[in-house]
Amino acid sequence: MIIIMLGAPATGKGTVASILSKRLNVPQLSTGDLFRKNISEKTELGIMAEEYISKGNLVPDEVTINMIIKRLNEDDTKNGAILDGFPRTIPQAEALDKFLADKNIKIDMVLNLTTPEEEIIQRVVTRRVCSNPHCKTIYNTKLNPPKIEGICDKCGSKVITRKDDNVEAIKTRLKQYFKLTNPLVDFYDKKGVLTTEEVSEKINRMGKDVAEDIAQKLLKK
């Protein structure tokens, strides 16, 4: 089972992907997590990625494609995966199509999340994340802060602000998203695999609500 998560930054892709991963018993592959792991370990890829990510720019296609394909060849993805943050451009999508076609694997769903831009910016500047790479629990200082300020509820590690979680970086990322990534909506819509869901406080429908509905839909197939 292959599920692709689409949506601008801070629309809840990670939250939805995490819930679907547990419900469907397939791994969540987050490009953001893979890049952050390499950055923290100061690998050659990590140093290269940080130069782009810290400025709110996208990592070049070639680097991202090779990283994801290598990950999809690992044993734990034999029953499928949830791609969170990939593809982000048409060339990435085309490279993924070729890889899956060679293995006779189909895409089950492309889930496109939408959120009003003002909500996205507010979520980003108030977002905090557990510094433990094995935990990575996400908090929000307004919506769901940790019980003890600065300390993760689940593992007790320090809760931090990501370097790219600021107004300037998110505005750059949003501009790039609508220019480079939003065309993927049409790309996958034409293939008949696109499902669009709104995640917004205004309609009282958050990521966990969407995830539960989608999980039930897929499990009935």
Please report where in the chains the tokens 């977002």 appear, as a residue.
127
Share of the chain above pLDDT 70, in %: 100
Domains of the chain, by residue range, sit at 2-115+168-219
Distance CA 162, CA 32 (A): 11
Cα separation of 145 and 126, whole Å?
Answer: 9
Q: What is the pLDDT of residue 104?
A: 94
pLDDT bin (cut points 50, 70, 90) of residue 67 is: confident
CA distances from 179 to 46, 89, 182 (A): 25, 9, 6
Instruction: Output the average pLDDT for the chain.
Output: 90
What is d(CA 72, CA 75) in angstroms, rounded to the nearest whole number?
8
User: What are the tens digits of pLDDT across the range 122-146?
Assistant: 999 999 999 998 888 889 998 889 9
The pLDDT, as a whole number, for residue 180 is 82
Give the closest residue to 72 by CA, choosing from 52, 88, 90, 95. Answer: 95
Residues annotated as catalytic (active site), given as ranges: 13, 88, 127, 162, 173
Q: Which residues pair with 82 in a beta bridge?
A: 3, 28
pLDDT of residue 60: 86
Model pLDDT, residue 22: 93
Confidence of residue 25 (pLDDT cuts 50, 70, 90): very high
Please give the residue that has the higher pLDDT: either 192 or 221. 192
pTM: 0.81
State which fold the 2-115+168-219 domain adopts.
Answer: Rossmann fold (3.40.50)
pLDDT at res. 38? 77
Higher pLDDT, 180 or 197: 197
Task: Name which of 55-59, 81-85, 173-177, 194-198 the model is least confident about.
Answer: 55-59
Question: d(Cα 35, Cα 59) in Å, to the nearest integer?
Answer: 9
> In this model, does residue 61 exceed pLDDT 80?
yes
The whole-number pLDDT of residue 191 equals 95
Residue 39 pLDDT level (bands cut at 50, 70, 90): confident
The pLDDT confidence band at residue 176, using thresholds 50, 70 and 90, is confident
